[in-house]
Structure 1
Amino acid sequence: MAQLIDSLRADGICIIVVTHDMDLVKALDARLVYLIPDRPGAGKVSGGPVQSPDGPDGSRPVLLPVAAMDQRDEPPRRSSRSAYIASINPAFRLIGAFLTALPLLISLDWVSATVALVLELFLLMAAGFTPLRIVRSAWPIFLGAPGSALAIILYGKAGGATYWQWGMIHVTQRSLDLALATALRILAIGIPAIITVLGIDATDLADAFSQVLHLPERFVYGGLAGLRLFSVLRDDWSALSASRRSRGLGDENRFKAFFPQAFALLVLSIRRSTTLATAMEARGFGGTEERTHARVSDVGPRDYVYLLICLAVPVAALATAALTGRISYFGN
């Protein structure tokens, strides 16, 4: 490698080598530029001063201050329509969505669902969401809730007064109560879950998983890389289609051509994942030393306040239903 670089340099080509290999640095006998963190105590390596040979012209190495990898000052990304929700750590936003949803899953009554839904709408509007923005952000929930309610009205558990019956359709007072409770509960669970998670950047979420939840970094950032590469599958599919047509295989039945092309895409994806794994190993993901991060995932008091608010909503809803004697659980 040193001989190749020397031959190129002899031809008048400027070569920039980024390396930690001091033997290669000595072999090249080139001008040195050190990138050092711009903070107190910089200019030291492994607890001691920077030791390096002089350049070929006798000059000392250049020490170039740069921002430390774990102290970058980047403007925050706008990850939510609400400034408060956008300031919450991505991992805490996911945890808060689970805290809001899980307690409501154990019951099935319209009182607790109504109380939870009213509290959530009030809190979302206090956080800066308008009613129209809530509907636009969570519109799949507003479509799914009535559909689920209709199915329960027609085919739900029968009980009480019968209003209409035809074949398997049996509309009763109990099926109407279950339909109302189900629709309200879907709205109470789905609206905050979608709005709190909507807009989270995948990289910020991976940083939070690694630094806050301490999940395995190789798994977290491998998943992030796979998510980033997911968009290239369409380009790969188009390239495979063009390749098959160039070999005279594009005129056959599309259904029959799908499976061999899908298998080829699978092989291509496995090869890409192997390359990705090698690249991650080269970047120290398989090592035992602690890695630095380009951006620090911070956790502050407002994150814990957010969790308390998310937990208080279902607790207040279930407590209200219990005090009124209208709470019911699945299977009752």
Structure 2
Amino acid sequence: MRNELILRGNNAPLTRANPLAKFAAVFLITLVLALSIDWVSASVALVCEFLLFPLAGLTFALLWQRGWPLILAAAVGGWSTAIVAADSGDVLLDVGIWSISEGSLQLGLGFMLRGLAIALPAVLLMSCTDPTDLGDALAQKAKLPHRFVLGTLAAMRLVGLMAEEWQTIGMARRARGVGSHGTPLQRLRATLGQSFGLLVQAIRRASRLAVTMEARGFGGANRTWARESTYSLLDVWVLLGGVLIAAAAVTGAVSAGTWNMVWQAS
């Protein structure tokens, strides 16, 4: 609910665009980055994506707050790739059990940057898209089944609630002296217990939501819309922006001679 209120008061251009246009733009960027593993195309895409922050009304602090798990996962994935990839070129670091060469470092850097370039548009998309607008667009424009649309809408609304629920469960457990002290193994067990508690709460909340939506007539044959989902000139610019970013990433990599398809990576 808090995120929805923030979006309602946010007049940034990307918040006013149709969700399907934003999804299409993100899909184009993701498709290009998924086909290549070089660092130049990912770097070009990242620079372009950073320039979109003002258009979404976001800050770097908010990006870290919402996307830090994805950022850390990309960093760990890049480091792991650099370690396990086959050596090529000069060896830069050798500690016996593993080594990093120029080729493996470039491959790991490309993997990390590609992960960030793919994750960032998703964070931008979720941060500037109202769940209700997305549900309206999926049902009215994409003509998707109502069960899928309602499930997507409920999932997006529950994501924020689950984050708050995790904090609530953690504070309640710490108040009872659980998980706030002990060995790393004991803390790991406490975290797993907290995760199980969150899973139980999610199932209960989803069950109540499903019953409530069914009782209020969601999924009926005859449906009316409080808000009509429409396309505008802004959506054309959003889609064109996705095409330009994808084209710039490919052009930059090809011009630099680093374009490297995933199945050709070694």
For normalisation by structure 2, the TM-score amounts to 0.69
Change (3 A) 1:269 1:302: closer
Indicate how the Cα distance of structure 1 residues 226 and 103 shifts in structure 2: closer, same or farther if over 3 A, else same: closer
Tell me if structure 2 keeps the 8 A contact 1:80–1:86. no
Confirm or deny that 1:304 pairs with 2:236.
yes
In structure 1, C-alpha distance between the alignment counterparts of 2:244 and 2:6, rounded to whole Å: 28
Specify the alignment match of 2:215 in structure 1: 279
State the shift of 1:131 in Å: 4.9
Distance 1:80 1:96 in 2: 24
Paired residue total = 229
For 1:181 and 1:80, the matched residues in 2 are separated by 37
Asked if 1:102 is matched to 2:38, the reply is: no
The correspondence of residues 181-196 of structure 1 with structure 2, limited to 5 A, is 181-196=110-125
CA distance in structure 2 between the partners assigned to 1:90 and 1:187 by the alignment: 22
* Structure 2 residue aligned with 1:197: 126
Unaligned runs of 5+ in 1: 1-75, 239-254
Question: What is aligned with 1:323?
Answer: 255
Q: Which residue is 1:21 aligned to? A: none
Letter in 2 for 1:143: L
> What value does the CA root-mean-square deviation take over the aligned residues?
3.8
Note the 1:117-132 alignment, pairs <5 A.
Answer: 117-125=46-54, 129-132=58-61
CA distance in 2, matches of 1:115, 1:277: 44
In 2, distance between residues paired with 1:126 and 1:200?
A: 13
Secondary structure (helix, strand or coil) at the match of 2:258 reads coil
Q: 1:179 to 1:285 in 2, by over 3 A?
A: closer
Q: Distance in 1 between matches of 2:211 and 2:145?
A: 19
Give the C-alpha shift of residue 215 in structure 1. Answer: 0.7
Give the TM-score normalised by structure 1.
0.57
> Could you say what secondary structure the match of 1:178 adopts?
helix
**Separation in 2, partners of 1:134, 1:321:** 26
Residue 89 of structure 1 is matched in structure 2 by 18
8 Å CA contact retained: 1:81, 1:129: no
- Structure 2 residue matching 1:78: 3-state secondary structure: helix
Q: Greater RCO between the two (CA within 8 Å, min separation 6)?
A: 2
Counterpart-to-counterpart distance in 2, 1:128 and 1:158: 43
More helix by share: 2
Judged with a 3 Å threshold, the aligned counterparts in structure 2 of structure 1 residues 111 and 80 are, in CA distance, closer, same or farther, namely: farther
Match of 2:224, as an amino acid? T
Deviates more, 1:86-95 or 1:118-127: 118-127
Letter in 2 for 1:313: I
Larger radius of gyration between Structure 1 and Structure 2 = 1
Give the gaps of 5 or more residues in structure 2.
170-191
**Distance of 1:321 and 1:118 partners within structure 2:** 14
Give the Å deviation of 1:204.
Answer: 2.1
Q: What amino acid sits opposite 2:231 in the alignment?
A: V
1:103-147 deviations in whole A, cap 9, x for unaligned? Answer: 111011112112222222234346655555555554334333322
Measured after TM superposition, the shift of residue 166 of structure 1 is: 3.7
- 8 A Cα contact 2:7 2:130, kept in partner: no
* Contact kept in structure 2, 1:85 and 1:127, CA below 8 Å: yes
Greater per-residue strand proportion:
1
